[in-house]
Amino acid sequence: MFTEELKAFRRLGFRHVLLQVLNFASVIASGLMIWKGLGIVTNSESPIVVVLSGSMEPAFYRGDLLFLTNPSSEQYKTGDITVYKIPGAEIPIVHRVMETHDVPKSIDIRKYTKSKSKSKPQPGEDSKQDNQLLLTKGDNNYVDDIELYQGLEWLEKKHIVGKVRGFLPYVGYVTIAMNDCPQLKYALLGGLGLLALIQRE
Amino acid sequence: MHSIFARINNTSALLSSCMMALLAAIALSTLVFTARPEGNVSVASVQVYSGNTRRYATKRQDLAFVDFNITADFAPLFNWNTKQIFLYLQAEYNTTTGIKNEAVIWDRIIRRKEEANVNVIGKNKYNLRDLSTNFKNAPPASYSLKYNIMPYVGALTYGEAARTSEPVAFPPRKTRV
């Protein structure tokens, strides 16, 4: 099937193959640069996420794409839709903020979070804003998220990946399909790789 | 230019560019609308009782129960790009210890223009409690009705529709219902 392609390769020489590989690598590298650059601009570790659960219906369905920002100079307000990650759980959760409590720096926030750690907060970690304690709830759930917090009483700013600013429906379904059915992922990646290598223009 | 592969390539490239342009146009077109809905919020009564919250069934803390009236019309906010409007009534107060609190006590989702006229006499859906487990340090609170417009495509917008004209105080705790 590929004998013609292989013959053409041998004719063009080893350099040509190297050039193709370089093209491939530069495409991947520029994709990565754009992703990381977006992460820096929005100050969020993952500025584009796919909705995984149905707990925010009818606003967001599984497979919708969300654009996040994480302004360090702004406080979160009630009504903001935030994506957060509980340490110990790998899945980011998209829910709405129901309560905010802004605790000024003069009060030790550990009194309210019942945190057992004795360490003081790192100097570079915080901005000029007060600490915040947040409680969230999904629109489609009857009760708030306390059970999801894995022992925490309140969420803090450090748990939050970002706040939802914009929204694109259905586009993310490809990622969910690829996660549910890994053969699809390998088939797609394999097909793309093969196509990139045998293309000659 | 005449192989099937090239044809599919060109068609799909054109399709995706047109689709992106259309979505961007829809998202930007909603910037034209600057309607601001008006409404009215008034609090009929606030009562404070001692109760339990779900998580720790034996820990008592003060919970505030609020009865309120809301009237508002959100019909001017509905256009071709509005998927739903999320309304929420929140209590805002700053305690004497310096902590600023905002807590949502009631919310509603409006999906169609016909439901956009809101006239509610109700009580809080969610527990209103303070970090210090009592309301002794809590000054009178303002209650505000805010909304969040969720579009089919584009950016989410927020706004405030109404606010109580003067702050409402938390009464001392009642021991008997």
- For residue range A147-164, list pLDDT tens digits in order: 888 888 888 888 888 899
Sign of CA dihedral A124, A41, A90, A147: positive
Local confidence band at A32 (pLDDT 50, 70, 90 cut-offs): very high
Look at B86 and A164 and tell me if their CB atoms are within 8 Å. Answer: no
Q: Find the chain B residues whose C-beta atoms sit closer than 8 A to any C-beta of A.
A: 23, 27, 54-55, 83-84, 86, 88, 90, 97-104, 107, 109, 111, 126, 131, 146, 148, 150-156, 158
Give the DSSP letter of residue B152: S
Chain B environment of A165 (Cβ under 8 Å): 155-156
Interface contact flag, B156 A167, Cβ < 8 Å: yes
Instruction: Identify which of B98, B126, B148 has the shortest CB distance to residue A106.
Output: B98
Give the per-residue pLDDT at B17: 94
Residue A72 φ/ψ, nearest 5 degrees: -80, -15
Residues A107-136: b if buried by 16+ CB within 10 A, e if exposed: eebeebbeeeeeeeeeeeeeeebbbbbbbb
Work out the number of other CB atoms within 10 angstroms of the CB of residue B93: 22
A145 is catalytic: yes
Identity of the residue in B107, B131, B150 whose CB atom sits nearest the CB atom of A101:
B131
Token duo for residue B118: 């809101």
Query: Rounded to whole angstroms, how far apart are CA atoms B172 and B35?
Result: 41
Q: What is the pLDDT of residues A1-11, one digit of tens each?
A: 667 767 766 67
CB-based contact B156 A139, cutoff 8 Å: no
A59 interface with B at CB cutoff 8 Å: yes
Q: What percent of chain B has pLDDT over 90?
A: 16
Instruction: Establish whether A144 is a catalytic residue.
Output: no
pLDDT digits (tens, 9 = 90+) for B18-29: 999 998 898 888
Q: What is the pLDDT of residue B129?
A: 85
B47 contacts: CB under 8 Å, gap ≥ 6: B64, B65, B171, B174
Poorest-confidence range of A152-161, B10-19, B129-138? B129-138
Q: Which of B86, B88, B154 sits opposite A167 (nearest CB)?
A: B154
pLDDT exceeds 60 at position B31: yes
Rounded mean pLDDT, A98-117: 78
Of the residues B101, B135, B146, the best mutation for testing chain A's interface (the one with the most A CB atoms within 10 Å of its CB) is B101
User: What is the pLDDT, as a whole number, of residue B49?
Assistant: 85
Does residue A98 sit at the B interface (CB-CB below 8 Å)? yes
Give the chain B residue whose CA is nearest to the CA of A154: B131
Specify whether the CB–CB gap between A55 and A119 falls below 8 A: no
Top-ranked range on mean pLDDT: pick from A39-53, A129-143, B8-22, B132-146:
B8-22
What number is the ipTM of this complex? 0.83
Rounded distance between C-alpha atoms, residue A201 and residue A95, angstroms: 47
A201 has a pLDDT exceeding 70: no
Note the pLDDT tens digit of each residue in A155-194: 888 888 889 988 888 888 878 887 778 788 788 888 777 7
**B103:A99 CB<8 A:** yes
Per-residue pLDDT at A55 exceeds 50 = yes
Handedness of CA A29, A180, A174, A192 (dihedral sign): positive
Is A78 close to B148, i.e. CB distance below 8 A?
no
Interface probe for B, chosen from A99, A129, A155 (most Cβ of B below 10 Å), is A99
Q: Which residues of B touch A59 (CB under 8 A)?
A: 83-84, 86, 109, 150
Question: Is A55 a catalytic site residue?
Answer: yes
Stated pTM of the model: 0.80
Backbone angles phi, psi at A171, to 5 degrees: -65, -30
> Which tokens in the block code for residue A57?
């219906």
pLDDT attached to residue A127 = 56
Q: What is the pLDDT of residue A124?
A: 42
Model pLDDT for residues B81-94, shown as the tens digit of each residue: 889 999 999 999 88
